[in-house]
């Protein structure tokens, strides 16, 4: 019996180790190319609107795929889906590296990578819940959370160093490391019983078309793309209202507190993601920093600080309440954007402090948005509601990156509003930072108003 128990523990530990590898590379793949965006833009002679699709393409299929894999896990089995995701992710990596000199191939490869990598966050937590003993699940979830935070932290630094000393195309090969997990997962994951059920493929197609064309509109500003996007969303809404098992539960749309948390949270997350995608361009244009300096010196300290701020935010929610933590996080974000707007030419290392505060504010607001959204849901709505929150959080990040790329390209905000800067390139970034601060404050005001009203009604 002791031998059997020891073998079971060893099996669980091995499985947890390989899940950590998958979790690390799924997040690393999202962040690692960010610091190389200016170099990619220069190599292909593309505007930021087009270049940012290197990240947007990945996040788009990543966000949609996360929801799809989660819904398919009971019908097709975790083992098959996880192995499928690994193979697709690695295939996209090889295609991207082999065809990195052709821009459409690069973007297509990032779509493929995102479609594969989406399986990791969607299924890893389900595997832990099903395979790890109940007494050890807390430690397992904590370990995977730490690994994810580490991936977010070291991603920019690794990306900057590899791009600086070799070439950014080699970053596309990093996810292929996950292929080593395949034989171990085949051995460690059991064969599962398949549950028959319907899956709303039509709804996913309508929604995906609407999202893609909206992002295309925000990067090219072609009215035809906006028309297609609106029509697709209208058809999608009509579709989910008339079928029994829709991809998105329309009943959630009637919950004002829930929808406010989703929309305002999405605006905050998208703004921060857009800011982070803008930092490499800003540091390159204003200070002529290398990818290694941007990744290691500017972005890396901020991404690492997420671990500390995330813990502090969780403690403060219990002690001071959600509204206090939300206000603190918003203060970090808005004040940071305003300071950066006024002092953008002061020193590049000021931006290191700004990025740390921005990621700190993001950690606080993410904690609170999750709390607000979950508390606004009935018990039977929790699963669908939190899945939708995760989906919209990822999606808003992709939208934020696409929108910022479009604004950097059309130079709509390239006006001398502040007579402080001699460098023409500083005007655009300063105005963008003012815009970010305004969006954050408006989102906070709306969230506070609706949340307080819901508390009184409750």
pLDDT digits (tens, 9 = 90+) for 384-434: 777 777 788 888 888 888 888 888 887 666 666 655 555 566 778 888 898
pLDDT for res 192: 66
Average pLDDT over all residues of the chain: 81
The percent of residues in the chain predicted with pLDDT above 90, rounded, is 12
Interval 297-315: pLDDT, tens: 888 888 778 778 877 877 7
| Average pLDDT of the residues in 265-286 | 88
DSSP 132-178: S-HHHHHHHHHHHHHHHHHHHHHHHHHHHHHHHHS-GGGGGGGGGGG
The CA-CA-CA angle for residues 165, 110, 176, to 5°, reads 65
pLDDT for res 410: 76
Per-residue pLDDT for 5 more than 60?
no
Per-residue pLDDT for 333 more than 70?
yes
> Among 60, 93, 64, 83, which residue's Cα sits nearest to residue 398?
60
The two tokens of residue 152 are: 């977010």
pLDDT for res 97: 93
140/190 Cα distance (integer angstroms): 19
pLDDT for res 112: 93
> Among 320, 326, 354, which residue's Cα sits nearest to residue 444?
326
- At 28, the pLDDT band (50, 70, 90 cuts) reads confident
Per-residue pLDDT for 88 more than 90?
yes
DSSP 295: I
Q: How many residues does the chain have?
A: 458
- At 331, the pLDDT band (50, 70, 90 cuts) reads very high
């Amino acid at each position: 019996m002791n031998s059997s128990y020891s073998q079971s523990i060893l099996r669980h530990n091995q499985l947890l180790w390989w899940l950590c590898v998958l979790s690390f590379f799924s997040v690393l793949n999202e962040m690692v190319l960010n610091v190389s965006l200016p170099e990619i833009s220069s190599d292909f002679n593309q505007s930021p609107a087009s270049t940012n699709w290197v990240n947007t393409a990945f996040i788009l299929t990543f966000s949609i795929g996360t929801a799809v894999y989660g819904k398919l896990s009971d019908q097709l089995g975790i083992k098959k889906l996880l192995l499928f995701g690994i193979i697709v992710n690695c295939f996209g990596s090889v295609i991207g590296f082999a065809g990195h000199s052709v821009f459409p191939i690069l973007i297509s490869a990032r779509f493929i990578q995102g479609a594969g990598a989406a399986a990791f966050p969607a299924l890893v937590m389900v595997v832990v819940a099903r395979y790890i003993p109940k007494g050890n699940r807390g430690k397992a979830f904590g370990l995977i959370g730490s690994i994810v935070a580490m991936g977010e932290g070291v991603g920019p630094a690794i990306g900057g160093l590899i791009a600086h000393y070799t070439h950014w195309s080699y970053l596309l090969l990093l996810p292929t490391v996950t292929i080593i997990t395949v034989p171990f997962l085949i051995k460690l994951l059991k064969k599962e019983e398949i549950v028959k059920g319907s899956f709303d493929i039509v709804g996913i197609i309508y929604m995906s078309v609407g999202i893609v064309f909206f992002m295309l509109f925000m990067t090219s500003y072609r009215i035809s793309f906006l028309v297609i996007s609106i029509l697709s969303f209208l058809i999608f809404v009509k579709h989910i209202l008339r079928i029994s098992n829709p991809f998105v539960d329309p009943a959630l749309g009637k919950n004002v507190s829930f929808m406010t948390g989703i929309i305002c949270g999405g605006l905050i997350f998208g703004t921060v993601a857009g800011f982070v995608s803008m930092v490499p361009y800003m540091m390159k244009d204003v200070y002529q920093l290398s990818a290694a300096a941007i990744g290691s010196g500017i972005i890396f300290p901020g991404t690492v600080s997420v671990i500390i701020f995330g813990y502090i935010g969780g403690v403060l929610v219990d002690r001071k309440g959600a509204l206090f933590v939300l206000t603190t996080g918003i203060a970090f974000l808005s004040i940071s954007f305003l300071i950066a707007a006024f002092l953008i030419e002061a020193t590049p290392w000021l931006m290191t402090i700004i990025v740390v505060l921005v990621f700190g504010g993001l950690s606080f607001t993410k904690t609170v948005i999750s709390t607000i959204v979950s508390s606004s849901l009935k018990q039977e709505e929790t699963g669908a509601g939190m899945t939708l929150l995760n989906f919209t959080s990822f999606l808003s990040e992709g939208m934020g990156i696409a929108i910022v790329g479009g604004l950097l390209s059309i130079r709509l905000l390239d006006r001398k509003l502040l007579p402080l800067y001699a460098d023409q390139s500083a005007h655009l970034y300063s105005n963008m930072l003012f815009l970010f601060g305004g969006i954050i404050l408006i989102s906070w005001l709306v969230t506070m108003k609706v949340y307080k009203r819901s508390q009184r009604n409750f």
